[in-house]
Amino acid sequence: MYPDDAARKRGRSDAANGNDNVPSPKRSKEMESNQSGLGSELKPCSKFFSCFQRHFGHVLTSEEVDKLTKDKLKFEWKMHVKEMTMSKLVGTGQDLSMELNGDPFCGVNQKLYNHWKNLDCSSNFEDSCLSKRRLFFSLCNTYRDIMHCNKRPFYLKGKEDDSSIMDAYIMHALNHIHRIRENVLKNDAKLNKDENSKSEEIHCGEFYLDQGFTRPKVMLLLPLASIAFRVVKRLVQLSSLSHKGNVAYMDRFSEEFGAGDVLGDDKNIDGNLESQKRAKPVDFQTLFGGNHNDHFMMGIKLTKRSIKLYSNFYSSDIIVASPLGLVTKIGETEFEKEKDIDYLSSIEVLIIDHADVITMQNWSHVNTVIEHLNHLPSKQHGTDVMRIKPWYLEGHARFYRQTIILGYLVTPEMNALFNRLCVNYEGKLKLISKHKGVLHKVLLQVRQAYERFEASSIIDTDDARLEYFSKKVFPKMKDSLEGGTLVFISSYFEFVRIRNFLKSQNASFCLLGEYTKQSDVSRSRLWFFEGKRKIMLYTERAHFYHRYKIRGIKNLIIYSLPERKEFYPEIVNMLEGSKNMSCSVLFSRFDLYRLERIVGTAAAKKMSSSDKTTFVFC
């Protein structure tokens, strides 16, 4: 796909010039204006030119770069989409209304298009799912940054919705790779024709700018090996190369990514494995029923007739990895100088799926990965420098990278990353959704008292929350002789602060966090149930990874609302069996995202701005 033999024959490689590092030669205006290698073979559709051609054929001016670097773009327009009744699209740049009304498959590789069309005809998908797939593909095909964090995940009975969106981004990734390959092969043929001609002189204007520093152009960032297994299997099917003989190392991939059991370390806690499986919610069994390894990285090479899994990163087109797997590779380069991560230098499409699951792992890893993308490489890696697109050499690759963030929910951390590190010159798209809430899923007649504390800024929220707890909530807990108080805490940072506070007060408490040893978990649950410890601290991540059923709860205090709305009724319903059950919830106006998912968008806005500070639901 990226043959270097022609470059060596022409004597234009860097090695021939005695350069070890990647140079940045100044090109003539004639060379920079020559876009024949940037999708010239793509013919215009009835109304629009190929988005691929438009996006990667544009060379940014210094004024545009300054604006992208300094100015924070505002979402200037909004658009309602019939396929998303509770949501609307907001965006920067040009309004997409006209663009989305055009042909969503404009400029798509013909072979891929025919294959997808045949799949549509034979698919069992409902028309609405096919419509969602076409809609989301058309959004991806604009090459804008996208944040869609309200999709129904497959493990929450949202298989069709999740699959339609997954299909769309896989189709987009495959089409992107095919467009690049078509450009390179066509230009190779033209250059070979020039070399075989009688004329020995090759003019600058005949160079074709169609490559990056390295071959990998698409990255899929996924949280679990089981999800990677699901995505890669579908990628193979959508590529039209699903015949076993055309996919190398598929058996190895199935063995390494498709194995695993549901409970891991949990299976020795409270009985045999099968009874434990039945005790877990269905969504937990579906998500963690496969291989829940969160440390993996694999290259995929696409050719005209085959797919090779486990390809060398520098000869791959697509990199599939977990955030932890990539951060480990990044860390290795700091201690082993012979290693490098230059294969991250030319990523043009970054897709982060199931971002909500990644937040339960370590979202800071995603920040680290994106901060290491699109840097100038430390070595040349056999690239023909004379064919590198000019904006790569100028260090502007990050302005061309499309970042697509997909998930079940949105968090402030996701928003911050989208605003700060996604700087696509084409613009941004974001899905804004309204929520109905999940209070109706609380099955008990329990009084749920929401208490709002004041915080001057989001930075001061943690301190203000702890102060409110220590002065308003803990004195009541301390005076109570009954015990049985469960304190639910969203983050580990808050968990540590509460633990230290309770220690300073000599309180009777036990711990159930994500890092608590299994032997200590069993002991804590027994002590709490028997009343030997009055207070238990329980974190959201511990609930996400284990879904413990905690007995003996009489008083529930939700110190910080869970990110995942389905956890709220699960935790409150644990009060079942208590005679004098009560539930208190602490929140501030900076908890709006979490609050609206639980009580509903309309109620959350009123609760955040009302003069009242206490709100009761029964």
User: Model confidence over 453-477: pLDDT tens digits?
Assistant: 999 999 999 999 999 999 999 988 8
Q: Residue 603 and residue 595: Cα distance in Å, rounded? A: 9
Instruction: Report whether pLDDT(567) > 90.
Output: yes
Give dist(CA 563, CA 594) in Å, integer.
Answer: 6
The pairing of strands 349-352 and 485-489 is unpaired
pLDDT of residue 259: 75
- Reference 422, options 169, 145, 196; nearest CA is 145
The DSSP bridge pattern shows strands 145-148 and 428-433 to be parallel
How far is Cα of residue 338 from the mean position of the Cα atoms in its chain? 30
What pLDDT, on the 0 to 100 scale, is given for residue 383?
Answer: 86
Residue 325 pLDDT greater than 50, yes or no: yes
Task: Give the pLDDT score at 95.
Answer: 85
- For residue 20, what pLDDT is reported? 41
| The residue to which tokens 């520098």 are assigned | 314
Residue 272 has pLDDT above 80, yes or no: no
Q: Poorest-confidence range of 198-212, 299-313, 332-346?
A: 198-212
Answer with the residue of higher pLDDT: 510 or 39.
Answer: 510
3-state SS of 304-354? CCCEEECCCHHHCCEEEECHHHHHHHHHHHHHCCCCCCHHHCCCCEEEECC
What's the whole-number average pLDDT of the chain?
Answer: 84
Mean pLDDT for 282-307 is 93
Where do the H-state alpha helices sit in 150-262?
159-196, 225-238, 250-257
Q: List the single range of 21-35, 203-217, 541-555 with lowest mean pLDDT.
A: 21-35
Counting beta carbons within 10 angstroms of the beta carbon of residue 431, is it exposed (0 to 12), middle (13 to 18) or buried (19 or more)? buried
318, pLDDT greater than 90: yes
Which residues in 34-135 belong to E strands, given as ranges? 77-80, 87-91
Helix (H), strand (E) at residue 390? helix 390-393
Alpha-carbon distance of 282 to 284, in angstroms, equals 5
Cβ(248)–Cβ(207) below 8 Å: no
The pLDDT, as a whole number, for residue 278 is 59
Please tell me the predicted confidence (pLDDT) of residue 16: 34
The gap from C-alpha 206 to its chain's centroid, in whole angstroms, comes to 40
Packing angle, helices 601-609 and 592-599, rounded to 10: 130
- Give the range with max mean pLDDT: 37-46, 163-172, 203-212, 275-284: 163-172
Question: Residue 522: is its pLDDT beyond 50?
Answer: yes
Beta bridge partners of 413: none
- The helix (run of H) or strand (run of E) holding residue 503 is helix 492-504
Alpha-carbon span 23 to 422, nearest angstrom: 27
Q: What is the per-residue pLDDT across 113-155, written as a single tens digit (0 to 9) for each?
A: 888 888 777 666 566 677 888 889 999 999 999 999 988 899 9
Q: Band of the pLDDT at 97, cuts 50, 70, 90?
A: confident
* Mean pLDDT value of segment 191-200: 67
User: pLDDT > 90: what percent of the chain?
Assistant: 58
What pLDDT is recorded for position 29?
40
> Contact, 148 vs 406, CB < 8 A?
yes
First to last CA, the chain: 64
Of 55-59, 70-74, 249-253, 543-547, the one with minimum mean pLDDT is 70-74
Return the pLDDT at 120. Answer: 75
Q: How many CB atoms lie within 10 A of CB 139?
A: 26
Query: Would you state the pLDDT for residue 197?
Result: 63
Q: Apex CA 595: angle with CA 406 and CA 513, to 5°?
A: 80
Task: Give the H or E element holding residue 133.
Answer: helix 127-140
Please report the pLDDT score of residue 49 as a whole number: 55
Q: Residue 158: which pLDDT band, with cuts at 50, 70 and 90?
A: low
Confidence of residue 292 (pLDDT cuts 50, 70, 90): very high
Task: Please tell me the pTM assigned to this model.
Answer: 0.88
| Weakest mean pLDDT among 38-52, 306-320, 479-493 | 38-52
